[in-house]
Amino acid sequence: MNKAHQRGLFITFEGGEGVGKSTILTKLNDYLTQEGFQVIQTREPGGCELGINIRKLLLEMESLSNKAELLLFLANRAQHVEEVIAPALKKNQIVLCDRFTDSTIAYQGVARHLDMNEVEKLCEFSTDGLKPDVTFLLDLSPEEGFDRVHKSRDGKDRIERESLQFHEEVRKGFLKRADKEPERIHIIDASQDIDTVFSSLLTIVLQKIENVHATS
């Protein structure tokens, strides 16, 4: 693989609670780094100094209106894109991000029942139109996801404490999004073992990298 002609690649990881995004993202980061690629691993909420503070508010505050929640996520994203993601892509780096716009559509647009047109416009505004080159939707039933959460740590954050129905709506929102953009969003069965999940997405990532090189 000729890395001399590499240009930036933006890869995002989406899914409900407990699907294994962080584990897979870290595994891919390690693999690509060992192969000699320049990789940035980041997440939302978080990813920058402002985002770290917003993450604390979003996950710990008990009382937060749906609109306030949306705008906090988007404030984080606007700063995250400008401060971290866009500069990394300009440096021809590969950006691996745990959650991005698709999460906002699924959680705030679908599950919170906010006006979808307005949510999409605000997402576009906050990112200056930046979209991932490829997105992996790690799909898993909410029940199994929460079984994993319970086994891995104690306690739940504010969003994890939402009803099972809420999280089922989130899953439907993700799947509808994937159906709308099948070329970008790849659905991965997250109930499989970690090595199988990783192998499935790695094949797609390496092909995407080759395609980028071919058009450079």
Average pLDDT over residues 115-138: 97
Nearest to 157, CA basis, from 167, 171, 172: 167
Domain assignment present for 36: yes
User: What's the domain count of the chain?
Assistant: 1
- Per-residue confidence band for 14, with pLDDT thresholds at 50, 70 and 90: very high
Task: Answer whether residue 156 shows pLDDT above 60.
Answer: yes
112 is a domain residue:
yes
Average of pLDDT values for 12-16?
98
Residues 125, 166 contacting (CB under 8 angstroms): no
Say if 216 falls within a structural domain: no
Higher pLDDT, 10 or 60: 10
Q: Is 215 part of any domain?
A: no
Whether 1 is covered by a domain: the verdict is no
153 pLDDT band (50/70/90 cuts)?
low
Whether residue 68 is contained in a domain is answered as yes
**For residue 95, which of 180, 191, 11, 5 has the smallest C-alpha distance?**
11
Domain extent at residue 77: 6-210
Q: What is the domain-level CATH number for residue 205?
A: 3.40.50.300
Tokens of 27: 């595994």
What confidence tier does 211 reach under pLDDT thresholds 50, 70, 90?
Answer: confident
Distance CA 172, CA 164 (A): 12
171 found inside a domain: yes
Mean per-residue pLDDT of the chain: 93
- Tokens representing 148 are 């994993």
Query: Which pLDDT score is estimated for 210?
Result: 87
**113 found inside a domain:** yes
At 152, the amino acid letter reads S
Give phi and psi for 189, each to the nearest 5: -70, 105
